[in-house]
Amino acid sequence: MATSPVTTNSLSSSSSSLFSASLPSLLPRRRVPLPLALRRRHGTPAIRAKIREIFMPALSSTMTEGKIVSWVKAEGDRLSKGESVVVVESDKADMDVETFYDGILAAIVVPEGQSAPVGAPIGLLAESEDEVPLAKAQALSQSQPQTPPSPPPPSEATPPPSPPPATAPPTPVAAAAAAAPPVQEGPRKTIATPFAKKLAKQHKVDLAKVAGTGPYGRITSTDIEAAAGIQPKKPAAAPAAPAPAASITAAATATAKGSAAAAPSPLPGSTVVPFTTMRAAVSKNMLESLSVPTFRVGYPVMTDALEALYEKIKSKGVTMTVLLAKAAAMALAQHPVVNASCKDGKSFGFNSNINIAVAVAIDGGLITPVLQDADKLDLYLLSQQWKELVKKAHAKQLSPNEYNSGTFTLSNLGMFGVDRFDAILPPGQGAIMAVGASKPTVVADKDGFFSVKSKMLVNVTADHRIIYGADLAAFLRTFSKTVENPEGLTL
């Protein structure tokens, strides 16, 4: 399983140079002094506890949060530098995370199954057993602020009303409720929403006798309905309230939108499943792809010669996917613009390496292991690497460089019998090739004679900001020739 060192932050006077190099400004060091009681007991005013925070590490460039799969160590266990502490699920893989320091795992801040943003503390590491109680107290104080923030406002808002009942403040509140008519007679102007005025006119309700419950005493439609004694309709009006923005549109549209927004309940018998970290990452990437202007080009490729070669060398561990990846890499070497990428919308770069990312379906998502330098390595070495990558992908043990360094992506659904399909362009790449199944097809040669040959359809989706139709057509023609004359793939 891939490993990554835990990022920790020293809370003592001795700080870590390793941490300074990895997260200089994101997570500042803090010094935590011992309680006054301990200072007095030891008689030294400057004793400081050495407690380090274990932070959620960034396991990839696209990772924004991680999920705790399991804690390898339990609270109270003594740790040694370089020892695995926790298993973290990133957006594409599960990784063992190691510690930089010796110490005792004093407290677990984020338990198993929960997520935390990159840089957030997930545990506390104490230097000795004397600091364990203080670390536990600190962990408790860190978890408390997250819950109390919401209760304090109500509690602070409640005290003011209770002390003033004997003073003047409650008088306006009570007068507004009990003696509403006199209070509203003072301003001589009734504030009501347009819809409330319309309802009041329909139901013959005197606005001067209605106490408004809206902001600054404004009379709303619910106040009019209550005054008219239309109680059953009050709950029906409440669902429409959550969609005030829809009031700009027609009443029917607003009602439809309000009911749709207020109906998150699943269908009978259905189950709502939250996104895993991997599915969330895939979803994010797909949304990013929508901002790229793409176009698609299809091309027929005859595969009789490629299938004959495959029958000869498949016993040596070569797969059809590797053959196609090698053919694509050789074609990309002659058409480098298809291997280029545009990331900022203002410029594009030619990649010096041809790294073929191949889409692989795994349990719970999709990942793209990368065949590095596919144009330079021989077919058998590529096959060996591909076998190892697929094994690591299914075990969720790929390192970031093994799945996010692709310059061109290949997606092969032909093995499932799919004739043709379009693939979505991955962010940061110039093109992706979708390969369909190879099937017997009746074709006519230049002399008019008919024959049956194996043919597959490939569709390429490309970034139109850097790749044009002529570029893609030339690349596909080269790819087709390479597949139809595959002797060069084994060289």
Tell me the catalytic residues: 464
CB 247 within 8 A of CB 385: no
Distance between CA 437 and CA 479 in Å, rounded? 16
In terms of Cα–Cα distance, which of 236, 217, 233 is closest to 225? 233
Distance between CA 360 and CA 422 in Å, rounded? 16
Distance of CA 399 to CAs 95, 194, 240, 402, Å? Answer: 8, 61, 50, 5
Give me 157's structure tokens: 């808002």
Helix, strand, coil % in the chain, rounded to nearest 5? 40, 20, 40
Residue where the block lists tokens 């932070």: 55
In terms of Cα–Cα distance, which of 45, 16, 7, 13 is closest to 31? 13
Query: If DSSP states are collapsed to H, E and C, what string results for 44-89?
Result: CCCCECCEEEEECCCCCCCCCEEEEEEECCCCCCEECCCCEEEEEE
Give me 84's structure tokens: 């695995």
For the chain, first and last CA: distance in Å? 34
Dihedral, CA of residue 456, residue 460, residue 461 and residue 464, to nearest 10: -150
CB 453 within 8 A of CB 302: yes
In terms of Cα–Cα distance, which of 70, 111, 108, 67 is closest to 89? 67
Q: How many other CB atoms sit within 10 Å of the CB of residue 260?
A: 10
Distance of CA 138 to CAs 126, 145, 344, Å? Answer: 11, 11, 43
CB-based contacts of 292, cutoff 8 Å, min separation 6: 425, 427, 463, 465
Give me 339's structure tokens: 């291997």
